[in-house]
Amino acid sequence: MPTIEQARGWYSSADSVHDFDHILRVYQTAQHLGKIEGADMEILHAAVLLHDAIGSAPGEQARKAHHLASAEFAATILRLEGWDDERIAAVQHCIRTHRYRGTGEVPETIEAKILFDADKLDVLGAVGVARVIAYAALNRQPFYAEPSRQFLEQGILEPGEPHSAYHEYLFKLRKIKDRLFTTSARQLAEERDTYLREFFERFAREMRGEA
Amino acid sequence: MPTIEQARGWYSSADSVHDFDHILRVYQTAQHLGKIEGADMEILHAAVLLHDAIGSAPGEQARKAHHLASAEFAATILRLEGWDDERIAAVQHCIRTHRYRGTGEVPETIEAKILFDADKLDVLGAVGVARVIAYAALNRQPFYAEPSRQFLEQGILEPGEPHSAYHEYLFKLRKIKDRLFTTSARQLAEERDTYLREFFERFAREMRGEA
């Protein structure tokens, strides 16, 4: 079983959006959800500690496929720990399916559903606000740009329209709550989702000079 | 008189904390305060547009002395526009004294007080939250670290203690409201300060896993 101290080393070059504090928060949330939902805690813990291990440094090209690279890395680590193939495959399934934007494969086991939910809960609330703002800053995207009608209706940018932190909120964050799999995560999401929405509504008013 | 379009060019390489959207928000706030306080609007507008012109690109070494460099740049621009020495000096006084952390020189004219206040209002409210988080991310500081007792009492970091976004809130942002010069700015600050405090108190609870 990989330890938290061992895992810390895998995230030493991560940016503040995907750093080890994120892993520790997801770990704590997954622990809570896992107990309620009756998950295999060993598989869940390994999946949490390894889920962002590859591709989380700033500007890494691998970011888009980080779930696949991290799943490969997980197999290497767990094989060294003497895990059998079936349990390694179970961890890999969790890691491959934790991304929000579909890859074809969806979480099927309770452990995969919990990793997905615990990871997504960390983009809600005040921490979610900080992470989406920091992500935009690190990628030189503006905080706010007026979304086009096309973006509001179809989620597709018009030519010349920048993808701002506010766009990310509209396109992804405000829909997260309805994408969660477990009842216990949905309960946790309720209040954090409300806080996030109120933040971005206020933020848009301030940025438009209406406040 | 420098125009807004002319000014936009001076900020083309700025990060999202000091970009032209920040200038436009300060411009709008200064316009509002200037009318109430009876300021010389020409001096105030020139000071707003020029106050961060030098040293606002990410990682620029000049950041610490950006107020001095921007004041020099302002003189060059305004001389080209045919301004007389006295009015140029008035704009330079505003720019040199707009920094929060003292440089010995404090705002003495109403225009300088308004630039200071309008610039500081932009680190309160939801926009203030976004700017301090983005600043930390761009400078590879963590979002949150437990502040030491020494930091809480004296504002001085202990050896090994990182300066996080939360430290910046404790050390600077929560004191801003009481540092403002004009009554009209203090009125605007009241509600934005409350929002900022509530954000960071909630943020600290979430980061400590207490939420």
Determine, for residues B137 and A195 on separate chains, whether the beta-carbon distance falls below 8 Å: no
Which fold, B1-105? Answer: Cyclin A; domain 1 (1.10.472)
**Alpha-carbon torsion, ordered B86, B92, B94, B95, to 10 deg:** 170
- Residue B58, pLDDT score: 60
Where in chain B is CATH 1.10.472.50? 1-105
Task: Render pLDDT for A104-141 as a digit per residue (tens, 0 to 9).
Answer: 789 999 999 999 999 999 999 999 999 999 999 999 89
Burial class (CB in 10 A: 0-12, 13-18, 19+), A143: buried
Residue ranges, comma separated, of all CATH 1.20.58.1910 domains in chain B are 123-211
Give the per-residue SS3 of B191-209. Answer: HHHHHHHHHHHHHHHHHCC
Per the prediction, chain B carries an average pLDDT of 91
Q: Over range A203-209, report the average pLDDT.
A: 91
Which fold, A123-211?
Methane Monooxygenase Hydroxylase; Chain G, domain 1 (1.20.58)
- Asked if residues A20 and A14 have their Cβ atoms less than 8 Å apart, the reply is yes
E strand or H helix at A56: none
Instruction: Output the pLDDT for position B14.
Output: 73
Distances (CA, A) of A116 to A34, A112, B152: 12, 6, 37
Average pLDDT over residues B155-169: 95
- In angstroms, what separates the C-alpha of A80 from chain B's closest C-alpha? 32
* Separation of alpha carbons B2 and A47, rounded Å: 57
Q: Which CATH superfamily is domain A1-108 in?
A: Hypothetical protein af1432 (1.10.3210.10)
Is residue A164 within 8 angstroms of chain B, CB to CB?
Answer: no
A27 pLDDT higher than 70: yes
A28: contact with B, CB 8 A cutoff: yes
Search chain B and give the residue with CA nearest A13: B140
> Which member of B17, B28, B209 has the closest CB to residue A25?
B209
> In this predicted structure, what is the pLDDT of residue B99?
83
**Does the pLDDT at position B60 exceed 60?**
no
DSSP B58: T
User: Span B142-156, mean pLDDT?
Assistant: 94
Which residue in B126, B137, B203 is closest to A16 by CB distance?
B137
Q: Does B129 touch chain A (CB under 8 A)?
A: yes
Q: Which of B8, B33, B129, B194 to mutate to test the interface with A (most CBs of A within 10 A)?
A: B129
* Mean pLDDT, residues A53-82 taken together: 81
Phi and psi at residue B38, to the nearest 5°: 70, 45
Centre a 10 Å sphere on the Cβ of residue A68 and count the other Cβ atoms it contains.
17
Chain B contact present for A145, CB below 8 A = no
Other C-beta atoms within 10 Å of B109: how many?
Answer: 17
Q: Tell me, what's the pLDDT at A210?
A: 77
Q: Give tens-digit pLDDT for B170-207.
A: 999 999 999 999 999 999 999 999 999 999 999 999 99
Q: Which of A58-67, A173-182, B119-128 has the lowest average pLDDT?
A: A58-67
Phi-psi region of A130 (alpha: psi -120 to 50; beta: other; left: phi over 0): alpha
pLDDT in tens, A174-202: 999 999 999 999 999 999 999 999 999 99
Domain with CATH 1.10.3210.10 in chain A: 1-108
* pLDDT confidence band for B12 (50 / 70 / 90): confident
Q: A133 and B136: CB-CB below 8 Å?
A: no
Among chain B residues, the shortest Cα distance to A126 is held by B203
Write the residue in B15, B133, B211 that is nearest to A134 by C-beta.
Answer: B133
Q: What is the ipTM of this complex?
A: 0.85
Q: What is the pLDDT of residue B202?
A: 96
Q: CB of B59 within 8 Å of any CB in chain A?
A: no
pLDDT confidence of residue A105? 86
CB pairs under 8 A between A and B: 96
